[in-house]
Each structure stands twice: as structure tokens, then as C-alpha cells.
Amino acid sequence: MSARTWTAVDDYIVSSLFDADAALDAVLAANRAQGLPAIDVSAAQGKLLSLLVRIGGAKKVLEIGTLGGYSTIWMARGLPADGKVVTLELDPHHAKVARSNFERAGVSDKVDLRIGPALQSLAELSRENTGPFDLIFIDADKPNNPNYLTWAMRLSRPGTVIVCDNVIRDGAVVKKDSGDANVEGARAAFALIGGEKRLDGTAIQTVGAKGYDGFAIAIVD
Ligand code: SAM
């Protein structure tokens, strides 16, 4: 099966199950116009994140890796009126584009965007006692996955859901010595989730408009 089929099926999923969403289309268009890489989650994945927020009744969401805020907006839309997404981004240009996208999508009041290395922002959140978060989405620099998972656990409570994106990497995750830091980051996420008694998790392989990849999902016991 080809990437063309995967994309066609993703289009079918979206056109069959969601209302057309001009605001989200405009967000993606702005991201591309501003030179951001096309590494946002797909629409189907964004909707899944939004549903996870709703299914878990989440009010406090943490995202590590904002880019132009496409996934942030999906999650913000799943929140109740008094809910909040804290999203962490290193690159000031990405953050600037994200802020204008939050305005465009009408979710600015639900988003707290922090600019800087995520490890610093996470320490800041811990000092501020901002947690515990109900759902944490990890989607930044992959070599830091184990550090982000460790922080996610510190900022969690029993029942917190943790989702970690891009852990399959075209199947390269099975290679022990790939020499690829992103693959090593994915493998480290598996090792941490599998080895940590407080985490109960799985991973799902996915194909779609974004190719062959997948996400890990875990609940904190
Ligand atoms: N979650 C976004 C979405 O689906 O729309 C995509 C995020 S993109 C895959 C990863 C983002 O993480 C990039 O914008 C990148 O600048 C950011 N990033 C990379 N290293 C980071 C770090 N150390 N701290 C915070 N953000 C980082």
C-alpha cells in the first residue's frame, strides 16, 4: 500500500467524520506561509487528541513542542470553558506564529505559551506548582523523550494520560544501533514506559497523511 492511499484514506476520515474547519485550515496555511516545517500532527491525530481531552475530562493539559499550535488548538477545543493548555516551544518564530494562530482560532484565553528550552520551562512549571496535568502530549526534540517523560511523571497525578508522538519512525524503532538520535529517543521512550512501574502503556503504529509512524500512550498509576 502506498503513501497516496494512506493520504486518501486520511482525507476520507476527515471528510466523513468532521465538519469542514476553515480556522484550522488557515492555521496550517499560515504555518507553511511562515516557513514552519510540515510536522504538525494530521487532522485525524489532532481530533484524537481533542477526543482524549474530552474522554478524560481533562482541564489542565501540557504540551511539549508547539510548532504553530495546530495540535494545541485541537486540544484547546476539547477543553471545558475553564480549561487550559500550557504549551512549550523553543523557537521564538514558531511561538510568534502560534500566538497569531491561537488568536485566529479563538483559543488564546485557553492557552499559556512558554518560550524557551522545554526542560527549563518544565522546571519553572514545577516551581510554580502548575500541575498536576490531566493530559500531557510530548512532541518536541525526540532525543529528550526520556527527560520529558520523567518530567511528565513529576507533573502528573494518578490517572494522568501521557501521549508521546513519533515513536515508530518508519519502523526504525526496532533497530538497536540505528545511529539516529531520533530513533534512540523513541527507543528510550519505550524503555522508560516499559520499565516504569507507575506507567501502564502501549504504542499504536499509524499510517496516514504523515506517513508511517505512531504514538505511545500511557496512564500514570
Ligand atoms: N505539536 C506540534 C503540532 O502537532 O502542531 C508539532 C511540534 S513539532 C513536531 C516540534 C516542535 O518542538 C518544534 O516547533 C520545535 O521548535 C520544538 N522544540 C524542539 N526542541 C525543543 C526544546 N528543547 N524545547 C521546546 N521546544 C522544542
The pLDDT tens digits of the residues spanning 116-172 come to: 999 999 999 999 999 999 999 999 999 999 999 999 999 999 999 999 999 999 999
Compute the distance between CA of residue 179 and CA of residue 28 in angstroms, rounded to an integer.
32
Ligand 1 atom with minimal separation from the 36 CA: 14
pLDDT of residue 169: 97
Question: Could you tell me if 33 and 104 are in contact, meaning their C-beta atoms sit under 8 angstroms apart?
Answer: no
- Does any ligand 1 atom lie closer than 6 A to the CB of residue 58? no
Q: Which residue do the cell numbers 484524537 mark?
A: 48
For a pocket test of ligand 1, which of 32, 89, 163 has the largest count of ligand atoms closer than 8 A to its C-beta? 89
CATH code of the domain in which 123 resides: 3.40.50.150
Interface confidence, given as ipTM, is 0.99
Residue nearest atom 13 in ligand 1 by C-alpha distance? 67
- Does any ligand 1 atom lie closer than 6 A to the CB of residue 141? yes
Query: What is the Cα 75 distance to its own chain's centre?
Result: 9
Q: Is the pTM of this model over 0.95?
A: yes
pLDDT level of residue 216 (50, 70, 90 thresholds): very high
* Number of domains within the chain: 1
pLDDT of residue 19: 84
pLDDT, tens digit (0-9, with 9 covering 90-100), for 25-56: 999 999 999 999 999 999 999 999 999 999 99
pLDDT level of residue 193 (50, 70, 90 thresholds): very high
pLDDT of residue 212: 96
Q: Are strands 111-115 and 84-89 parallel, antiparallel or unpaired?
A: parallel
- Helix axis angle for 70-78 and 22-33, nearest 10°, is 160
Domain with 140 in it:
3-220
Residue nearest atom 23 in ligand 1 by C-alpha distance? 117
